[in-house]
Structure 1
Amino acid sequence: MTENTADSTSGIAPDDAPLARPTVSVVGPGQGETIVLGTTRMRVLEDGSNTGHRLGVTESVLAPHTPGPPQHRHAQHDEGFYVLSGTVRFTVGDTDHDVSAGTFVLVPTGAPHTFANTTDEPAVMLSTFTPDLYVQYFRDLRDTIADGRAMTPRGTLDTMRRYATEPAADR
């Protein structure tokens, strides 16, 4: 006779155990956590808490003439950017790409990159982070500003390093 118990080494539940149902996350217009960093307003659509930290998603509105961060590389996550409206300039190494609505840009781990809105119109983009690691980076920057401290280059660099991100050495 075989006992119907969970195998603690394989993680298999007994046949009669109820299956856990995943929770579906729905974030409607105007909902979600808002993070304001200078002239960029971000809305966190998924911070990783519903995906086992495999995926983070934000919507960012870049005001006209918003400079981007210094060109940098991520060592532990990929970033995807889907431009919803306006035009965003992505700089990858020495190459600029001015991309408009409907364009997707994937930045794999290790690729140097930055982005900016160089136009007179706002730009909106959806960003993905796999894994979700970088969502907390934006929260940390926001908290620095909220505490009355300036976003200095040194402070920003220290924060980036906590999230396996470094300035692109060749820039």
Structure 2
Amino acid sequence: MTGPSLPTRSAEGLIVPAGEGRVLAAEAQHVTYKVTGEHSVAASTFEVLVPPGFDVGAHAHTHSEELFYVLDGELDVLAFEPRVRTPDSWRSWQSHAGKRAMKATPGTLIHIPPGCPHAFANTSGVTAKMLFQSSPPPAHERYFEELLDILTSGAKPAERDAAIDALRTRYDIQQITPLRYDPPGPE
């Protein structure tokens, strides 16, 4: 008796040298695809640059599991259900166990199980870099591609914001606090 057949995948590994991968970039978004659903049934893997002044806003995913690993720079991060979800900012949130947002420096790993509110922001003056994994693939791959299309469409801000809200809904992103991008001005 034989079981169900699995999709055929190459028995070869994948090596993506430094500086290589498919890059998507616009405004505050700079994502390099390293491993996609074409290569893995477990997770998509990206290198993400987070510019100064970028705050992804607190959000949660019903079905996605995520992992962030800070490579360079520093980020304010949060990964817990707060006592109270305030809609304007996540920075003062506190968990039932007393956890608060913290500063993540190179070597910090953040694991996000499905349903867990999470956020990251770059409050420094230097671009941060992180490795980001999302499971299951390819949802985040498609999300980033569609987000880039919206950001480069030339739409008016209100139309762009409405399109991004609809995109988040389609991709299982419950936005709790706003995404913000307020780059520092010249000194």
Alignment TM-score, normalising by the size of structure 1: 0.80
Indicate the residue corresponding to 2:149 in structure 1.
143
Indicate the residue corresponding to 1:30 in structure 2.
19
Indicate the residue corresponding to 1:59 in structure 2.
47
Alignment of 1:83-98 (within 5 A): 83-92=70-79, 93=82, 94=93, 95-98=100-103
4+ residue segments displaced more than 4 Å: none
Q: Which has the larger radius of gyration?
A: 1
Indicate the residue corresponding to 1:11 in structure 2.
4
Q: How many residues end up aligned between the 2 structures?
A: 155
Structure 1, gaps ≥5 residues long: 1-5, 14-18
Alignment of 1:1-171 (within 5 A): 7=2, 10-11=3-4, 21-52=10-41, 54-65=42-53, 67-92=54-79, 93=82, 94=93, 95-132=100-137, 133-149=139-155, 152-168=160-176
Looking at structure 2, the residues matched to 55 and 20 of structure 1 have their Cα atoms a distance apart, in angstroms, of 15
> Once the 2 structures are TM-superposed, how far is the Cα of residue 117 of structure 1 from its aligned partner?
0.6
Identity of aligned residues (%): 23
> Once the 2 structures are TM-superposed, how far is the Cα of residue 64 of structure 1 from its aligned partner?
2.1
> Once the 2 structures are TM-superposed, how far is the Cα of residue 20 of structure 1 from its aligned partner?
6.8
User: What letter is aligned with 1:161?
Assistant: T
- Cα 1:120–1:44 change in 2 (3 A) is same
Greater relative contact order (CA < 8 Å, ≥ 6 in sequence): 2
- Cα 1:147–1:137 change in 2 (3 A) is same
Looking at structure 2, the residues matched to 31 and 98 of structure 1 have their Cα atoms a distance apart, in angstroms, of 28
Does structure 1 retain, via aligned residues, the 8 Å contact 2:24–2:31?
Answer: yes
Post-superposition Cα deviations, 1:86-136, rounded to whole Å, max 9, x if no partner, equal 101113441321110000001111011111110011111000001122121
Alignment TM-score, normalising by the size of structure 2: 0.74
Does structure 1 retain, via aligned residues, the 8 Å contact 2:26–2:152?
Answer: no
Looking at structure 1, the residues matched to 142 and 27 of structure 2 have their Cα atoms a distance apart, in angstroms, of 17
User: What letter is aligned with 2:46?
Assistant: T
Looking at structure 2, the residues matched to 139 and 21 of structure 1 have their Cα atoms a distance apart, in angstroms, of 25
> Once the 2 structures are TM-superposed, how far is the Cα of residue 12 of structure 1 from its aligned partner?
6.6
